[in-house]
Amino acid sequence: MRRLLIIVPVLILASLFGLFVAMILRGDKGPAISRLVGLDAAAFTLAPLDGAKPVTLTDYAGQPVVINFFASWCTPCRAEHPILMDLAAQGVTIIGINYKDKPEAARAFIEQLGNPFAAIGEDANGRTGIDYGITGVPETFVIGADGKVLANWASPLDKTIIEKRILPALKSAPTPSD
């Protein structure tokens, strides 16, 4: 009986360790599959950060876009910002959604780090975040020209994720003529 009390916890710990090692060897750094992949992206109309016209997903219909939920108070958002700047420099259209943040703080964030976004909408109450099922910020979605969610990434982007997930999803995006 005593031996069993020792063996069972050891087996449980060994199993957990094996699962942990398998996750590391898999190479992903965070959750990458959304329940929304393959479904129509949620429509939104948001107040713009810059005071221009409202930001809507329908303004980008017919072209693939990346939607990035961010906030100035989010340290990982700062870390991924240069990656977004590089992605925008490659010609990718990125819509920024300022999640539960003060507009003046978001403006200062963009002024300090640069603006990779084609448009920035204010999600002050988090409703759009709920519609997209985000688990926090940063979170990024690839939307196809047909309006379907092609991919998402629920942690900070890095070059590996851009190369392995975001760019392949954008390249696979059907065009309106497909």
The domain segmentation of the chain, as residue ranges, is 30-172
pLDDT in tens, 53-85: 999 999 999 999 999 999 999 999 999 999 999
CA distance 86 to 95: 14
Q: In what order do the strands lie in the sheet with 45-48?
A: 55-56, 45-48, 119-123, 94-99, 65-70, 139-143, 149-153
Instruction: Please write down the long-range contacts of 112-118, taking CB distance under 8 Å and 24 or more positions apart.
Output: 113/78, 113/81, 113/82, 113/85, 114/81, 114/85, 116/81, 116/84, 116/85, 116/87, 116/88, 117/68, 117/84, 117/88, 118/60, 118/65, 118/93, 118/94
CATH number at 30-172: 3.40.30.10
Confidence of residue 28 (pLDDT cuts 50, 70, 90): very low
The β-bridge partners of 68 are 96, 140
Rounded to two decimals, the pTM is: 0.81
Average pLDDT of the chain to the nearest whole number: 86
Given a cut of 50, whether residue 21 has pLDDT beyond it is no
